[in-house]
Amino acid sequence: MTPALRNAVALAIVGAGLAGVGFGQSWSLALAVFNLCLISALMSLAVNIQWGYAGLFNIGIMGFAALGGLAGVLVSRPPVPAAWAAGGGGLFIALLILMAAGGLALALARYMPRSRMRAAALAAVVLAGLFGAGVFFDPAVDAIEAVEPAKTGYLGGLGLPIILSWFAGGLLAAGAAFVIGRIALGLRSDYFAIATLGISEIVIAVLKNEDWLTRGVKNVTGLGRPVPYEVDLQRDPWFVDLVAVLHSRSLEALSGEAHEAALREFAVQSSSLFVKLCYAGLFLAVLAVVFWLSERALHSPWGRMMRAIRDNETAAGAMGKDVTRRHRQVFILGSAVVGVAGAMLTTLDGQFTPAGYQPLRFTFLIWVMVVVGGSGNNLGAVLGGFLIWFVWIEAEPAGLWLMQALTAGLPEGSAFREHLLASAAHMRPLVMGLILLLVMRFRPRGLIPAGGR
C-alpha cells in the first residue's frame, strides 16, 4: 500500500468507528468521543515532537497536562478577595524570602571557591530560606484555607475567559519544561525518562495537596465555558427556529401541544449536540494550527537539523550543532503543546480534579498513540491519537461483552463469573500493553510510517 492509501484507510477506519458509535449508541456520545480524540491527537502530536523529532523519552506527560489544567483554574475562576486579604501578604513575603535565598545560593555557588565551606554555606542558606519562608507561608495558607472552605478556601484565579487558559496552560507547561530541561536534559536517555516520571508525580502531589492554590482533592467545579450553555440555547429564538427548520419534516405531522413538546424535545437534543460541535470546532482549529506548524517545522532546515541530531547525536555535535540546547528547545515546545491540550481537556470537563490524573491514562496511553502512529510522523501521531483513544473508550464495553460471551456457559451467579464480569474494566491496560508490544515488534515504524525519511 502506498502511504497515501494507508492514511486514507486509517482515516476511514476511525470515521467508520465513530459513525458506528453514532448509529449504534448515540450521536451525542460519538461527538463526545470525537472531542476527546481531538485532544488525544494533540497530545500525541506533542509527544511526537519530542520523541519523533529529537528522540526524547518523556514519561511525565501527565504532569504537563495537569499544569495545563491548573491554568484553566487560575485563569478562569474569579479571585477570592477575602482569601487574598487573609493570606496574600504572607504568601508574598514567603515568596520574597525564597527568592532571596535562591539568589543568595546561586551567588554563593558561583562566586565562592569549591570547598567544604561552600557546601556548608549553601546548605545553611537553603535551610534558612525554607524555614524562614515556612514561618510566613504556613499561617498564610491556614488563613486562606479557612475562608469559606466549602465554597472557596483558595485564592481563586484571574476571572478571565477560560479560552485564554489555553495559552496560559502552554506557557505554564513550557516554564516547567524549561526548569526540568535545565536539570535533566543531557543525562542518559533512560535517566531522563525516570526524571520526567518523577516530576509528573510531584506535580500531581502538589496539585492534590496545596489547597490554597487548587482546592486539592475538593476539586474546582463549574469552570467557565468558551461555548454557550445548553439551557441558554434552548431559550434562544434563532436556535429554536433552526431546530424547527432542521426537523421540519417530523414536526409537520404534529400540531398544537404535541408540536410544542416535540420541538422542545428536539431543541434539548440539538443543544447538547450543538455545544459539542462548538467544542469540536475549537479543538479542530487548535489541532490544525499545531499540525500545520509542526509540519512546517519538520520540513524546514530546523527540522532537518533535529532529525540529524536524533539519528546521530555525535555526528550532529561534530557538525557544530548544540545538541543539549536543541533538545531543551524541543522539550519545551512539546511540553507547551501538552499544556495546551491539558487546558483544553479541563475546559471540556468544566472542572479540575487533581485526583483524576492517572499516569496510565495521561502518560502511557499517549505513548501507545505515538508508537502506533509511527514516530516522527505528524499525521501518524494524529491518527494514532484518534485510533487509540477510540480503542481505549471501547475496550471496556467490548471487554464486558467478551466476558459475557465467554462466561455464558457458566451458571448464573457463580463467583468466578461475577469476578470475570467485574474485571472487564481492567481489560484496558491489558489491551494497550498488547497493542504497544505488537506494534513495536511487528511494525516498529508504526502503522502509518513516515514516507522514506
Residues that bind another protein (CB under 8 A): 55, 57, 59, 130, 134, 138, 183-184, 187, 189-191, 193-195, 197-199, 201-202, 205-206, 208-209, 359-360, 364, 367, 371, 422-423, 426-434, 436-437, 440-441
Helices (H), 146-255: 164-184, 189-209, 211-214, 230-235, 237-246, 248-252
CB of 385 to another protein, least distance (A): 17
Nearest to 398 by CA among 7, 24, 49: 24
For 303, how many CA atoms within 13 A lie in the half-sphere containing its CB? 15
Nearer to another protein, 249 or 441 (CB): 441
* Sequence-separated (6 or more) residues with CB below 8 Å from residue 245: none
Nearer to another protein, 224 or 376 (CB): 376
Nearer to another protein, 138 or 241 (CB): 138
CB of 362 to another protein, least distance (A): 14
CB of 268 to another protein, least distance (A): 37
Report the C-alpha gap between 109 and 19 in whole angstroms: 61
- Terminal C-alpha separation, the chain: 17
DSSP for 160-176, please give it. Answer: --TTHHHHHHHHHHHHH
CB 415 within 8 A of CB 375: no
For 71, how many CA atoms within 13 A lie in the half-sphere containing its CB? 30
Nearer to another protein, 233 or 431 (CB): 431
CB of 321 to another protein, least distance (A): 20
Nearer to another protein, 240 or 368 (CB): 368
Residue 115 corresponds to which cell in the numbers above? 570547598
| DSSP H/E element including 111 | helix 89-111
CB of 88 to another protein, least distance (A): 21
Residue 344 corresponds to which cell in the numbers above? 483544553
Nearer to another protein, 120 or 288 (CB): 120
For 82, how many CA atoms within 13 A lie in the half-sphere containing its CB? 10
Residue 401 corresponds to which cell in the numbers above? 461483552
Nearer to another protein, 352 or 367 (CB): 367
For cell 468521543, name the residue.
Answer: 33
CB of 158 to another protein, least distance (A): 27
Nearer to another protein, 8 or 128 (CB): 128
Report the C-alpha gap between 448 and 372 in whole angstroms: 8
Report the C-alpha gap between 234 and 69 in whole angstroms: 29
CB of 300 to another protein, least distance (A): 26
CB of 418 to another protein, least distance (A): 12
Nearer to another protein, 96 or 430 (CB): 430
CB of 49 to another protein, least distance (A): 17
